[in-house]
Amino acid sequence: MIVFAELGQIRFQVIGSPQAIHSQRSYDYAEHGVIEARPRLQWVGSGLERISFDILMHASFTDPAAQVVALGDGAAAHLAMPLVFGNGLFRGYFVIESIATRSTQLSAGGNPIAITVRLGLREWVPDSGLGSSAAAAIPAFSPLALVSSAGAALTLAAGASLVPEGVTPLLSVPAAAAPPTALTMPGDVPAAVITRSAPH
């Protein structure tokens, strides 16, 4: 069956399409009092998007109870997950904010045959500070970076290196003989000059 959407590792396989998709985005304004005049509004910023799905999960193509448990596990993890639709559209990162279920059909033994789920998602925006060197996470391994043989040219005026912390430079790479291009070919960097630092 075609996957309608994926939230992290959770797949939404539904009959047809969801019964409803609701999206809400707010725009925040601060109100400033003005003496002997009407207040003024100042735009503060855009609010986070909220999306809710009304989804029917049926035993004919999935295990409704297991799907509800998977959603609960995803919510309990408190992690932002990418929301990607079946047509390839990446909507952004979202956290599960609410889960409401309604069993619409049960077997004689009480097992759910069909469950309607209202799933509430709230947008998660990466911290803009993550782009700065102070807030950037240093990986457990040392990624590689290219440094030309004229290493002094790769420092800023204040003496700070252009190679970020936690990155191992490639040493003694000859300066480029031609203008740089967007493509790097396999022979551009000799294997003999690739070095790795010891793990931190």
Q: What is the CATH number of the domain that holds 69?
A: 2.40.30.200
Global pTM? 0.56
* Inside any domain, residue 45: yes
Which residue is listed with tokens 């990624």?
143
pLDDT in tens, 103-141: 888 888 888 888 888 999 999 988 765 544 433 444 444
Q: How many domains does the chain have?
A: 2
In this prediction, residues 78-101 reach a mean pLDDT of 90
Give the 3-state secondary structure of 78-130. CCCEEEEECCCCEEEEEEEEEEEEEEEEECCCCCEEEEEEEEEEEEECCCHHH
* Inside any domain, residue 43: yes
Same domain, 34 and 86: yes
Same domain, 76 and 107: yes
Q: Compute the distance between CA of residue 113 and CA of residue 63 in angstroms, rounded to an integer.
A: 8
* Inside any domain, residue 60: yes
pLDDT tops 70 at residue 6: yes
Same domain, 87 and 33: yes
Same domain, 27 and 107: yes
Average pLDDT, the chain: 73
Same domain, 56 and 145: no
pLDDT tops 80 at residue 44: yes
pLDDT-wise least confident of 6-10, 41-45, 188-192: 188-192
pLDDT tops 50 at residue 58: yes
pLDDT of residue 42: 94
pLDDT in tens, 137-179: 444 444 444 444 444 444 444 444 444 454 445 444 455 555 5
Per the structure, the complete domain to which residue 199 belongs is given by 141-176+188-200
Same domain, 34 and 110: yes
Same domain, 98 and 194: no
pLDDT tops 50 at residue 186: yes
Same domain, 38 and 117: yes
Same domain, 79 and 23: yes
Same domain, 110 and 22: yes
pLDDT of residue 43: 93
What are the helix (H) ranges across the chain?
64-76
